[in-house]
Structure 1
Amino acid sequence: MAKRNYKGTPGLAVRELLASDDGTSDLYAGTASVYVKCGDPVEHPAPLHEYLASRLAHSLGIPVPFGELAAIRGSDRAWASAVVGASGKGAPPGDVAKAAAAEPHVFAGICVFDVWIHNVDRWEENIIWSPEMGLWAIDHERAFGEFNPRTEESLQEHFDAVSVPFQRESVLPRSEFADRWASLIRQHGPYWAKVATEAAHRRKLANRPVLKQYEEFLSYRASTIFSLTSKAFGFSPGLF
Protein backbone atom coordinates (compact mmCIF):
# COMPACT_ATOMS: atom_id res chain seq x y z
CA MET A 1 0.00 0.00 0.00
CA ALA A 2 1.32 3.44 -0.92
CA LYS A 3 2.34 5.66 1.96
CA ARG A 4 -0.36 8.21 2.74
CA ASN A 5 0.55 11.84 3.37
CA TYR A 6 -0.61 13.47 6.60
CA LYS A 7 -0.43 17.23 6.76
CA GLY A 8 -2.89 19.90 7.77
CA THR A 9 -5.93 20.02 10.04
CA PRO A 10 -7.30 16.65 11.27
CA GLY A 11 -10.73 15.60 10.09
CA LEU A 12 -12.75 15.97 6.91
CA ALA A 13 -11.78 18.53 4.28
CA VAL A 14 -14.81 20.30 2.84
CA ARG A 15 -13.82 21.35 -0.65
CA GLU A 16 -16.78 23.48 -1.62
CA LEU A 17 -19.63 25.26 0.13
CA LEU A 18 -22.90 25.85 -1.69
CA ALA A 19 -25.88 27.89 -0.60
CA SER A 20 -28.65 25.85 1.03
CA ASP A 21 -32.39 26.51 1.02
CA ASP A 22 -33.02 24.36 4.08
CA GLY A 23 -33.95 27.21 6.37
CA THR A 24 -30.97 28.51 8.33
CA SER A 25 -28.50 31.18 7.34
CA ASP A 26 -25.46 29.25 8.57
CA LEU A 27 -26.27 25.95 6.81
CA TYR A 28 -24.49 25.05 3.59
CA ALA A 29 -24.29 22.11 1.25
CA GLY A 30 -20.70 20.92 1.11
CA THR A 31 -18.58 18.51 -0.90
CA ALA A 32 -15.87 16.40 0.70
CA SER A 33 -13.56 13.51 -0.19
CA VAL A 34 -14.68 9.88 0.00
CA TYR A 35 -13.17 6.49 -0.74
CA VAL A 36 -15.29 4.39 -3.11
CA LYS A 37 -15.41 0.60 -3.44
CA CYS A 38 -17.36 -0.51 -6.49
CA GLY A 39 -19.17 -3.79 -6.90
CA ASP A 40 -22.12 -5.35 -8.65
CA PRO A 41 -25.38 -4.35 -6.96
CA VAL A 42 -26.52 -7.68 -5.52
CA GLU A 43 -24.68 -10.00 -3.10
CA HIS A 44 -21.26 -8.58 -3.84
CA PRO A 45 -19.15 -9.10 -0.72
CA ALA A 46 -17.35 -5.74 -0.72
CA PRO A 47 -20.34 -3.35 -0.43
CA LEU A 48 -22.31 -5.88 1.63
CA HIS A 49 -19.53 -6.54 4.13
CA GLU A 50 -18.58 -2.88 4.41
CA TYR A 51 -22.20 -1.95 5.03
CA LEU A 52 -22.81 -4.62 7.67
CA ALA A 53 -19.52 -3.94 9.45
CA SER A 54 -20.20 -0.21 9.51
CA ARG A 55 -23.69 -0.63 10.98
CA LEU A 56 -22.42 -3.08 13.60
CA ALA A 57 -19.41 -0.95 14.52
CA HIS A 58 -21.54 2.14 15.05
CA SER A 59 -23.98 0.14 17.18
CA LEU A 60 -21.14 -1.11 19.35
CA GLY A 61 -19.31 2.21 19.51
CA ILE A 62 -16.25 1.30 17.45
CA PRO A 63 -14.86 4.32 15.59
CA VAL A 64 -15.14 3.75 11.85
CA PRO A 65 -15.48 6.46 9.19
CA PHE A 66 -19.05 7.25 8.20
CA GLY A 67 -20.11 5.37 5.08
CA GLU A 68 -23.16 4.56 3.00
CA LEU A 69 -24.15 3.01 -0.27
CA ALA A 70 -23.55 5.35 -3.19
CA ALA A 71 -24.89 5.63 -6.72
CA ILE A 72 -22.11 5.48 -9.30
CA ARG A 73 -22.64 6.27 -12.97
CA GLY A 74 -26.35 6.65 -12.41
CA SER A 75 -27.36 3.13 -11.37
CA ASP A 76 -24.30 1.12 -10.28
CA ARG A 77 -23.92 0.96 -6.51
CA ALA A 78 -20.78 1.12 -4.43
CA TRP A 79 -19.63 1.68 -0.87
CA ALA A 80 -18.46 5.22 -0.14
CA SER A 81 -16.80 6.20 3.12
CA ALA A 82 -15.48 9.50 4.38
CA VAL A 83 -11.76 10.18 4.13
CA VAL A 84 -10.58 10.57 7.72
CA GLY A 85 -7.29 12.37 7.60
CA ALA A 86 -6.15 15.89 7.04
CA SER A 87 -7.03 18.32 4.29
CA GLY A 88 -8.91 15.62 2.44
CA LYS A 89 -6.01 13.15 2.44
CA GLY A 90 -6.08 9.78 4.14
CA ALA A 91 -4.06 9.49 7.32
CA PRO A 92 -1.06 7.17 7.31
CA PRO A 93 -1.26 3.62 8.70
CA GLY A 94 -1.07 3.65 12.46
CA ASP A 95 1.74 2.34 14.62
CA VAL A 96 -0.07 -0.52 16.34
CA ALA A 97 2.01 -0.55 19.51
CA LYS A 98 1.66 3.21 19.97
CA ALA A 99 -2.07 3.10 19.24
CA ALA A 100 -2.61 0.27 21.75
CA ALA A 101 -0.66 2.14 24.43
CA ALA A 102 -2.36 5.48 23.81
CA GLU A 103 -5.93 4.19 23.46
CA PRO A 104 -6.09 0.74 25.07
CA HIS A 105 -9.88 0.76 25.44
CA VAL A 106 -10.54 1.58 21.78
CA PHE A 107 -7.79 -0.80 20.63
CA ALA A 108 -9.37 -3.64 22.61
CA GLY A 109 -12.75 -2.80 21.12
CA ILE A 110 -11.43 -3.06 17.56
CA CYS A 111 -9.78 -6.39 18.36
CA VAL A 112 -12.92 -7.89 19.90
CA PHE A 113 -15.10 -6.49 17.11
CA ASP A 114 -12.83 -8.15 14.55
CA VAL A 115 -13.14 -11.47 16.36
CA TRP A 116 -16.93 -11.15 16.41
CA ILE A 117 -17.26 -10.46 12.68
CA HIS A 118 -14.32 -12.78 11.84
CA ASN A 119 -12.34 -10.11 10.04
CA VAL A 120 -9.28 -11.78 8.53
CA ASP A 121 -7.65 -8.53 7.39
CA ARG A 122 -6.69 -6.40 10.38
CA TRP A 123 -3.11 -5.15 10.12
CA GLU A 124 -1.52 -1.77 10.69
CA GLU A 125 -2.52 -0.80 7.13
CA ASN A 126 -6.18 -1.12 8.12
CA ILE A 127 -6.22 1.24 11.06
CA ILE A 128 -5.73 4.98 11.29
CA TRP A 129 -4.03 6.38 14.34
CA SER A 130 -2.27 9.58 15.27
CA PRO A 131 -2.37 11.71 18.42
CA GLU A 132 -4.48 14.25 16.52
CA MET A 133 -6.90 11.84 14.81
CA GLY A 134 -7.23 9.16 17.47
CA LEU A 135 -7.74 5.50 16.51
CA TRP A 136 -10.05 4.37 13.70
CA ALA A 137 -10.75 1.02 12.06
CA ILE A 138 -11.06 0.90 8.26
CA ASP A 139 -11.54 -1.70 5.49
CA HIS A 140 -13.94 -4.55 6.29
CA GLU A 141 -14.64 -6.24 2.97
CA ARG A 142 -12.72 -9.32 4.16
CA ALA A 143 -14.88 -9.74 7.26
CA PHE A 144 -16.99 -12.87 7.75
CA GLY A 145 -14.02 -15.02 6.84
CA GLU A 146 -14.05 -13.62 3.28
CA PHE A 147 -17.37 -15.39 2.75
CA ASN A 148 -18.71 -14.89 -0.76
CA PRO A 149 -22.52 -15.16 -0.85
CA ARG A 150 -22.42 -15.91 -4.57
CA THR A 151 -20.82 -19.31 -4.00
CA GLU A 152 -22.23 -22.54 -2.63
CA GLU A 153 -20.25 -22.10 0.58
CA SER A 154 -22.16 -21.68 3.84
CA LEU A 155 -21.30 -19.16 6.54
CA GLN A 156 -21.88 -21.96 9.03
CA GLU A 157 -18.43 -23.23 8.10
CA HIS A 158 -17.00 -20.10 9.79
CA PHE A 159 -19.10 -20.13 12.97
CA ASP A 160 -16.23 -21.11 15.26
CA ALA A 161 -13.29 -19.83 13.21
CA VAL A 162 -10.86 -17.32 14.70
CA SER A 163 -8.39 -14.98 13.03
CA VAL A 164 -6.20 -12.98 15.42
CA PRO A 165 -6.18 -9.23 14.71
CA PHE A 166 -2.73 -7.64 14.47
CA GLN A 167 -1.06 -11.05 14.70
CA ARG A 168 1.81 -9.82 12.55
CA GLU A 169 2.52 -7.03 15.03
CA SER A 170 2.11 -9.31 18.09
CA VAL A 171 0.23 -6.68 20.09
CA LEU A 172 -2.61 -7.98 22.25
CA PRO A 173 -5.50 -6.04 23.79
CA ARG A 174 -5.74 -5.74 27.56
CA SER A 175 -8.05 -8.40 28.92
CA GLU A 176 -10.01 -6.12 31.26
CA PHE A 177 -10.99 -3.88 28.34
CA ALA A 178 -11.62 -6.79 25.98
CA ASP A 179 -14.01 -8.35 28.48
CA ARG A 180 -16.10 -5.19 28.61
CA TRP A 181 -16.48 -5.11 24.84
CA ALA A 182 -17.24 -8.83 24.73
CA SER A 183 -19.93 -8.35 27.36
CA LEU A 184 -21.63 -5.72 25.20
CA ILE A 185 -21.53 -7.99 22.17
CA ARG A 186 -22.88 -10.97 24.08
CA GLN A 187 -25.76 -8.90 25.45
CA HIS A 188 -26.70 -6.84 22.39
CA GLY A 189 -25.06 -8.52 19.40
CA PRO A 190 -28.04 -10.61 18.24
CA TYR A 191 -30.29 -7.55 18.15
CA TRP A 192 -27.69 -5.43 16.35
CA ALA A 193 -27.23 -8.26 13.84
CA LYS A 194 -30.97 -8.40 13.16
CA VAL A 195 -31.20 -4.63 12.65
CA ALA A 196 -28.16 -4.51 10.35
CA THR A 197 -29.25 -7.40 8.15
CA GLU A 198 -32.78 -6.04 7.85
CA ALA A 199 -31.34 -2.69 6.74
CA ALA A 200 -29.11 -4.48 4.22
CA HIS A 201 -32.18 -6.21 2.81
CA ARG A 202 -34.01 -2.90 2.42
CA ARG A 203 -31.04 -1.69 0.40
CA LYS A 204 -31.22 -4.85 -1.74
CA LEU A 205 -27.66 -5.84 -0.92
CA ALA A 206 -28.63 -9.50 -0.67
CA ASN A 207 -31.71 -11.68 -0.48
CA ARG A 208 -33.27 -12.83 2.77
CA PRO A 209 -31.80 -16.37 2.83
CA VAL A 210 -28.30 -14.97 2.40
CA LEU A 211 -28.79 -12.30 5.05
CA LYS A 212 -30.29 -14.88 7.40
CA GLN A 213 -26.93 -16.65 7.30
CA TYR A 214 -25.19 -13.44 8.38
CA GLU A 215 -27.68 -12.87 11.20
CA GLU A 216 -27.28 -16.44 12.48
CA PHE A 217 -23.49 -16.20 12.17
CA LEU A 218 -23.34 -12.99 14.20
CA SER A 219 -25.86 -14.16 16.79
CA TYR A 220 -24.02 -17.42 17.36
CA ARG A 221 -20.67 -15.67 17.66
CA ALA A 222 -22.15 -13.13 20.07
CA SER A 223 -23.22 -16.01 22.32
CA THR A 224 -19.71 -17.52 22.19
CA ILE A 225 -17.70 -14.29 22.11
CA PHE A 226 -15.84 -14.98 25.36
CA SER A 227 -14.60 -18.35 24.17
CA LEU A 228 -13.68 -16.84 20.80
CA THR A 229 -11.65 -14.04 22.39
CA SER A 230 -10.05 -16.53 24.75
CA LYS A 231 -9.01 -18.61 21.76
CA ALA A 232 -7.78 -15.56 19.84
CA PHE A 233 -5.81 -13.84 22.60
CA GLY A 234 -5.12 -16.54 25.20
CA PHE A 235 -7.32 -14.91 27.84
CA SER A 236 -8.99 -16.70 30.69
CA PRO A 237 -12.80 -16.79 30.25
CA GLY A 238 -14.38 -13.41 30.88
CA LEU A 239 -16.15 -12.69 34.12
CA PHE A 240 -18.55 -9.96 32.96
Structure 2
Amino acid sequence: MRHSTAQIIPLRRSSLREIRTASIHSAGVRINGSRNEVWLCPAYSGADTVMLYVKPGLTVRQLVAELVAAQVGHCLGLPCPDPFIASVAPHHVGRARGPTMLAFGCQQVGPTSLAYPVRNLSLMLDLLRKAKATEGVCVLDEWIANAVRGPGDIVFDAQQSVWLIDHEGALEAHIRPDEAVTNWLAGQLDITLQTRSERAEFLGRLHQLARSLTVAQIHGVPPEMRDIERGDSTYAAVLEFLAARLDHLGSLLSARVIPEQRAFDMRDPSNDSASIA
Protein backbone atom coordinates (compact mmCIF):
# COMPACT_ATOMS: atom_id res chain seq x y z
CA MET A 1 0.00 0.00 0.00
CA ARG A 2 1.24 3.48 -0.82
CA HIS A 3 1.96 5.97 1.92
CA SER A 4 1.58 9.73 1.57
CA THR A 5 1.93 12.37 4.24
CA ALA A 6 0.92 15.63 2.56
CA GLN A 7 -2.60 16.96 3.21
CA ILE A 8 -3.71 13.75 4.88
CA ILE A 9 -5.92 13.63 7.93
CA PRO A 10 -4.45 10.59 9.70
CA LEU A 11 -6.75 8.12 11.37
CA ARG A 12 -4.97 5.09 12.77
CA ARG A 13 -1.35 4.55 11.83
CA SER A 14 -0.95 1.29 13.69
CA SER A 15 -1.59 -2.12 12.21
CA LEU A 16 -5.05 -3.62 12.13
CA ARG A 17 -6.62 -4.16 15.52
CA GLU A 18 -5.76 -7.50 17.08
CA ILE A 19 -8.20 -10.34 16.59
CA ARG A 20 -9.02 -11.71 20.03
CA THR A 21 -9.67 -15.35 20.81
CA ALA A 22 -12.28 -16.77 23.13
CA SER A 23 -13.72 -20.06 24.31
CA ILE A 24 -17.49 -20.55 24.64
CA HIS A 25 -18.09 -22.17 28.02
CA SER A 26 -21.82 -22.95 28.05
CA ALA A 27 -24.89 -23.11 25.83
CA GLY A 28 -25.92 -20.00 23.96
CA VAL A 29 -29.30 -18.53 23.01
CA ARG A 30 -30.36 -18.43 19.35
CA ILE A 31 -30.92 -14.88 18.10
CA ASN A 32 -33.42 -14.15 15.33
CA GLY A 33 -33.32 -11.41 12.72
CA SER A 34 -29.91 -11.88 11.12
CA ARG A 35 -29.21 -13.17 7.62
CA ASN A 36 -27.17 -15.99 9.13
CA GLU A 37 -27.42 -18.18 12.19
CA VAL A 38 -26.42 -16.24 15.33
CA TRP A 39 -26.07 -17.37 18.95
CA LEU A 40 -25.44 -15.18 21.99
CA CYS A 41 -22.95 -17.12 24.10
CA PRO A 42 -20.96 -16.61 27.30
CA ALA A 43 -17.23 -17.00 26.77
CA TYR A 44 -13.82 -16.68 28.36
CA SER A 45 -11.22 -14.51 26.66
CA GLY A 46 -8.06 -14.71 28.70
CA ALA A 47 -9.02 -13.55 32.18
CA ASP A 48 -12.14 -11.78 30.92
CA THR A 49 -15.70 -13.06 30.71
CA VAL A 50 -17.46 -11.76 27.61
CA MET A 51 -20.77 -12.22 25.83
CA LEU A 52 -20.30 -12.96 22.15
CA TYR A 53 -22.57 -13.12 19.14
CA VAL A 54 -21.31 -16.29 17.46
CA LYS A 55 -21.94 -17.28 13.82
CA PRO A 56 -21.16 -20.98 13.52
CA GLY A 57 -22.44 -21.44 9.97
CA LEU A 58 -20.20 -19.05 8.01
CA THR A 59 -17.88 -20.10 5.22
CA VAL A 60 -14.18 -19.33 5.64
CA ARG A 61 -14.52 -16.35 3.28
CA GLN A 62 -17.49 -14.99 5.25
CA LEU A 63 -15.65 -15.47 8.54
CA VAL A 64 -12.63 -13.55 7.21
CA ALA A 65 -14.91 -10.85 5.81
CA GLU A 66 -16.44 -10.33 9.26
CA LEU A 67 -13.03 -10.14 10.91
CA VAL A 68 -11.43 -7.81 8.38
CA ALA A 69 -14.48 -5.54 8.05
CA ALA A 70 -14.39 -4.90 11.79
CA GLN A 71 -10.63 -4.30 11.68
CA VAL A 72 -10.71 -1.80 8.82
CA GLY A 73 -13.82 -0.21 10.31
CA HIS A 74 -11.68 0.59 13.33
CA CYS A 75 -9.13 2.18 10.95
CA LEU A 76 -11.89 4.59 9.95
CA GLY A 77 -12.75 5.25 13.56
CA LEU A 78 -16.10 3.51 13.18
CA PRO A 79 -17.96 1.67 15.95
CA CYS A 80 -17.57 -1.97 14.95
CA PRO A 81 -17.80 -4.47 17.82
CA ASP A 82 -14.50 -6.18 18.61
CA PRO A 83 -14.01 -9.31 16.47
CA PHE A 84 -13.15 -12.70 17.94
CA ILE A 85 -12.24 -16.17 16.78
CA ALA A 86 -14.27 -18.35 19.13
CA SER A 87 -13.68 -21.97 20.04
CA VAL A 88 -17.13 -23.57 20.20
CA ALA A 89 -18.39 -26.97 21.28
CA PRO A 90 -21.12 -27.82 18.74
CA HIS A 91 -23.72 -28.65 21.39
CA HIS A 92 -23.40 -25.09 22.75
CA VAL A 93 -24.81 -23.76 19.45
CA GLY A 94 -27.65 -26.18 18.81
CA ARG A 95 -25.74 -29.04 17.22
CA ALA A 96 -24.95 -32.60 18.15
CA ARG A 97 -21.89 -33.17 20.31
CA GLY A 98 -18.68 -33.37 18.35
CA PRO A 99 -15.20 -31.91 17.94
CA THR A 100 -14.66 -28.28 18.90
CA MET A 101 -14.94 -25.88 15.98
CA LEU A 102 -13.79 -22.31 15.33
CA ALA A 103 -16.31 -19.60 14.52
CA PHE A 104 -16.57 -15.85 14.16
CA GLY A 105 -17.72 -13.97 17.21
CA CYS A 106 -18.20 -10.31 18.05
CA GLN A 107 -18.65 -8.74 21.44
CA GLN A 108 -22.18 -7.94 22.57
CA VAL A 109 -22.88 -4.23 22.27
CA GLY A 110 -25.01 -2.14 24.56
CA PRO A 111 -24.17 -1.63 28.25
CA THR A 112 -27.24 -3.22 29.78
CA SER A 113 -29.32 -4.65 26.96
CA LEU A 114 -29.23 -5.70 23.35
CA ALA A 115 -28.81 -3.09 20.66
CA TYR A 116 -31.57 -2.84 18.06
CA PRO A 117 -32.01 -1.33 14.59
CA VAL A 118 -34.02 1.85 14.16
CA ARG A 119 -36.60 1.19 11.43
CA ASN A 120 -37.53 4.84 10.89
CA LEU A 121 -35.09 5.86 8.15
CA SER A 122 -35.12 9.60 8.89
CA LEU A 123 -34.45 9.00 12.57
CA MET A 124 -31.70 6.50 11.78
CA LEU A 125 -29.95 8.99 9.49
CA ASP A 126 -30.24 11.71 12.15
CA LEU A 127 -28.68 9.41 14.74
CA LEU A 128 -25.87 8.52 12.34
CA ARG A 129 -25.19 12.20 11.68
CA LYS A 130 -25.10 12.95 15.40
CA ALA A 131 -22.58 10.12 15.79
CA LYS A 132 -20.55 11.63 12.90
CA ALA A 133 -20.55 8.23 11.23
CA THR A 134 -22.40 8.76 7.95
CA GLU A 135 -19.43 9.44 5.66
CA GLY A 136 -17.34 6.80 7.38
CA VAL A 137 -19.94 4.08 6.81
CA CYS A 138 -20.25 5.07 3.14
CA VAL A 139 -16.47 4.85 2.65
CA LEU A 140 -16.21 1.59 4.58
CA ASP A 141 -18.92 -0.09 2.52
CA GLU A 142 -17.37 1.14 -0.73
CA TRP A 143 -13.94 -0.14 0.31
CA ILE A 144 -15.11 -3.58 1.45
CA ALA A 145 -17.61 -3.90 -1.42
CA ASN A 146 -20.46 -4.38 1.03
CA ALA A 147 -23.51 -4.73 -1.21
CA VAL A 148 -25.85 -6.11 1.45
CA ARG A 149 -25.99 -3.51 4.20
CA GLY A 150 -29.47 -2.44 5.18
CA PRO A 151 -31.13 -0.77 8.17
CA GLY A 152 -30.89 -4.01 10.16
CA ASP A 153 -27.08 -3.86 10.02
CA ILE A 154 -26.85 -0.55 11.88
CA VAL A 155 -27.96 -0.88 15.49
CA PHE A 156 -28.27 1.48 18.44
CA ASP A 157 -28.00 0.81 22.16
CA ALA A 158 -29.91 2.39 25.04
CA GLN A 159 -27.60 5.43 24.93
CA GLN A 160 -28.24 5.80 21.17
CA SER A 161 -24.67 4.81 20.40
CA VAL A 162 -24.38 3.38 16.90
CA TRP A 163 -22.82 -0.01 16.04
CA LEU A 164 -22.11 -1.57 12.65
CA ILE A 165 -22.72 -5.32 12.41
CA ASP A 166 -23.15 -8.21 9.97
CA HIS A 167 -20.42 -7.88 7.33
CA GLU A 168 -20.30 -11.51 6.18
CA GLY A 169 -21.71 -10.51 2.77
CA ALA A 170 -18.85 -8.11 2.02
CA LEU A 171 -15.53 -8.84 0.31
CA GLU A 172 -16.93 -11.54 -1.95
CA ALA A 173 -14.32 -13.35 -4.00
CA HIS A 174 -15.91 -12.64 -7.38
CA ILE A 175 -15.86 -8.83 -7.01
CA ARG A 176 -13.12 -6.98 -8.92
CA PRO A 177 -11.18 -4.23 -7.09
CA ASP A 178 -12.54 -1.62 -9.53
CA GLU A 179 -16.12 -2.91 -9.56
CA ALA A 180 -18.98 -0.84 -8.17
CA VAL A 181 -21.54 -2.61 -6.00
CA THR A 182 -24.63 -1.39 -4.17
CA ASN A 183 -23.83 1.07 -1.37
CA TRP A 184 -27.13 1.31 0.48
CA LEU A 185 -26.33 4.15 2.88
CA ALA A 186 -24.64 6.27 0.21
CA GLY A 187 -27.75 5.83 -1.92
CA GLN A 188 -30.03 6.93 0.92
CA LEU A 189 -27.90 9.99 1.60
CA ASP A 190 -27.70 10.82 -2.10
CA ILE A 191 -31.49 11.19 -2.18
CA THR A 192 -31.28 13.91 0.50
CA LEU A 193 -28.79 16.05 -1.46
CA GLN A 194 -30.71 18.70 -3.34
CA THR A 195 -28.04 20.83 -5.01
CA ARG A 196 -24.79 20.36 -6.88
CA SER A 197 -22.99 22.23 -4.12
CA GLU A 198 -24.30 19.81 -1.49
CA ARG A 199 -23.13 16.88 -3.60
CA ALA A 200 -19.69 18.41 -4.07
CA GLU A 201 -19.33 19.04 -0.33
CA PHE A 202 -20.45 15.49 0.49
CA LEU A 203 -18.08 14.02 -2.07
CA GLY A 204 -15.24 16.13 -0.71
CA ARG A 205 -15.78 14.64 2.75
CA LEU A 206 -15.84 11.12 1.32
CA HIS A 207 -12.60 11.74 -0.60
CA GLN A 208 -10.94 13.19 2.49
CA LEU A 209 -11.69 10.01 4.39
CA ALA A 210 -10.62 7.82 1.48
CA ARG A 211 -7.28 9.63 1.24
CA SER A 212 -6.70 9.24 4.98
CA LEU A 213 -6.73 5.45 4.52
CA THR A 214 -3.38 5.63 2.71
CA VAL A 215 -1.73 5.76 6.15
CA ALA A 216 -3.49 2.64 7.44
CA GLN A 217 -1.34 -0.47 7.80
CA ILE A 218 -3.33 -3.41 6.43
CA HIS A 219 -0.64 -6.02 5.95
CA GLY A 220 0.20 -9.23 7.78
CA VAL A 221 -1.85 -12.35 8.46
CA PRO A 222 -2.69 -12.93 12.15
CA PRO A 223 -1.26 -16.20 13.48
CA GLU A 224 -4.73 -17.26 14.63
CA MET A 225 -5.76 -17.69 10.99
CA ARG A 226 -3.45 -20.71 10.67
CA ASP A 227 -5.83 -22.65 12.92
CA ILE A 228 -8.62 -22.33 10.33
CA GLU A 229 -8.46 -24.39 7.15
CA ARG A 230 -7.51 -22.00 4.31
CA GLY A 231 -7.77 -19.18 6.84
CA ASP A 232 -4.34 -17.69 6.23
CA SER A 233 -4.59 -17.77 2.42
CA THR A 234 -8.14 -16.37 2.48
CA TYR A 235 -7.15 -13.56 4.85
CA ALA A 236 -4.14 -12.70 2.65
CA ALA A 237 -6.37 -12.63 -0.45
CA VAL A 238 -8.81 -10.26 1.25
CA LEU A 239 -6.03 -7.87 2.24
CA GLU A 240 -4.71 -7.97 -1.33
CA PHE A 241 -8.18 -7.04 -2.58
CA LEU A 242 -8.42 -4.12 -0.13
CA ALA A 243 -5.01 -2.77 -1.14
CA ALA A 244 -5.96 -2.96 -4.82
CA ARG A 245 -9.41 -1.44 -4.28
CA LEU A 246 -7.93 1.52 -2.43
CA ASP A 247 -6.47 2.75 -5.73
CA HIS A 248 -10.02 2.87 -7.17
CA LEU A 249 -11.84 4.10 -4.07
CA GLY A 250 -11.90 7.80 -4.98
CA SER A 251 -13.19 7.13 -8.48
CA LEU A 252 -15.85 4.72 -7.22
CA LEU A 253 -17.10 7.31 -4.75
CA SER A 254 -17.06 10.04 -7.42
CA ALA A 255 -19.07 7.95 -9.86
CA ARG A 256 -21.63 7.27 -7.15
CA VAL A 257 -22.18 10.87 -6.01
CA ILE A 258 -21.25 13.01 -9.04
CA PRO A 259 -20.81 10.83 -12.13
CA GLU A 260 -19.27 13.72 -14.11
CA GLN A 261 -16.61 14.25 -11.41
CA ARG A 262 -13.15 13.91 -12.90
CA ALA A 263 -11.14 10.83 -11.97
CA PHE A 264 -9.75 11.03 -8.46
CA ASP A 265 -6.15 9.92 -7.99
CA MET A 266 -5.55 8.49 -4.52
CA ARG A 267 -1.81 8.83 -5.10
CA ASP A 268 -1.96 12.61 -5.65
CA PRO A 269 -2.46 14.44 -2.33
CA SER A 270 -2.79 17.76 -4.18
CA ASN A 271 -5.98 16.55 -5.85
CA ASP A 272 -8.92 18.84 -5.13
CA SER A 273 -11.50 16.21 -4.29
CA ALA A 274 -14.47 18.55 -4.67
CA SER A 275 -13.59 20.02 -8.06
CA ILE A 276 -15.88 19.37 -10.98
CA ALA A 277 -14.71 18.92 -14.56
| Of 229, 234, 237, the match for 2:258 | 234
Matched-pair contact (CA < 8 Å) for 1:179–1:239:
no
| Of 110, 135, 149, the match for 1:122 | 149
Letter in 2 for 1:164: T
Give the aligned CA root-mean-square deviation in angstroms: 3.5
| Of 17, 37, 41, the match for 2:55 | 37
Per-residue deviation, 1:69: 0.5
Per-residue deviation, 1:166: 2.1
Letter in 2 for 1:56: V
Measure, in 1, the Cα distance between the counterparts of 2:127 and 2:248.
27
Letter in 2 for 1:82: Q
Per-residue deviation, 1:125: 0.8
Taking the TM superposition and a 5 Å limit, the aligned residue runs for 1:58-207 are 58-73=74-89, 75-93=100-118, 95-103=123-131, 105-129=132-156, 132-144=159-171, 146-147=172-173, 155=174, 157-166=175-184, 170-172=188-190, 174-185=202-213, 187-189=214-216, 191-192=217-218, 194-195=219-220, 197-198=221-222, 201-204=225-228, 206=230
Measure, in 2, the Cα distance between the counterparts of 1:168 and 1:112.
9
Query: Relative to structure 1, is the Cα distance of residues 175 and 218 closer, same or farther in structure 2, using a 3 angstrom cutoff?
Result: same
2:3 corresponds to which residue? none
| Of 51, 55, 58, the match for 2:71 | 55
SS of alignment partner, residue 251 of structure 2:
helix
SS of alignment partner, residue 88 of structure 1:
coil
Query: Relative to structure 1, is the Cα distance of residues 98 and 199 closer, same or farther in structure 2, using a 3 angstrom cutoff?
Result: farther
Per-residue deviation, 1:51: 1.0
Measure, in 2, the Cα distance between the counterparts of 1:80 and 1:209.
20
Matched-pair contact (CA < 8 Å) for 1:164–1:232:
no
Could you list the runs of 4 or more consecutive aligned residues of structure 1 that deviate by over 6 angstroms after TM superposition?
1-4
Per-residue deviation, 1:85: 2.6
Per-residue deviation, 1:101: 3.4
Measure, in 1, the Cα distance between the counterparts of 2:206 and 2:240.
23
Letter in 2 for 1:141: E
Per-residue deviation, 1:176: 3.3
SS of alignment partner, residue 117 of structure 2:
coil
Q: Which runs of 5+ in 2 are unaligned?
A: 1-30, 35-41, 90-98, 191-198, 265-270
Query: Relative to structure 1, is the Cα distance of residues 34 and 199 closer, same or farther in structure 2, using a 3 angstrom cutoff?
Result: same
2:246 corresponds to 1:222: yes
Structure 1 or 2: more helix by fraction: 1
TM-score by length of 2: 0.61
- Superimposed CA distance per residue, residues 128-181 of structure 1 (whole angstroms, 9 cap, x where no aligned partner): 24682322211100011x33xxxxxxx4x5221222322596224932331221
Per-residue deviation, 1:91: 2.5
Letter in 2 for 1:184: S
Matched-pair contact (CA < 8 Å) for 1:129–1:135:
yes
Per-residue deviation, 1:38: 0.8
Letter in 1 for 2:162: L
Measure, in 1, the Cα distance between the counterparts of 2:204 and 2:158.
23
TM-score by length of 1: 0.69
Letter in 2 for 1:220: A
Deviates more, 1:221-230 or 1:82-91: 82-91
Matched-pair contact (CA < 8 Å) for 1:32–1:88:
no
Measure, in 1, the Cα distance between the counterparts of 2:225 and 2:55.
19
Measure, in 1, the Cα distance between the counterparts of 2:70 and 2:229.
14
Matched-pair contact (CA < 8 Å) for 1:99–1:107:
no
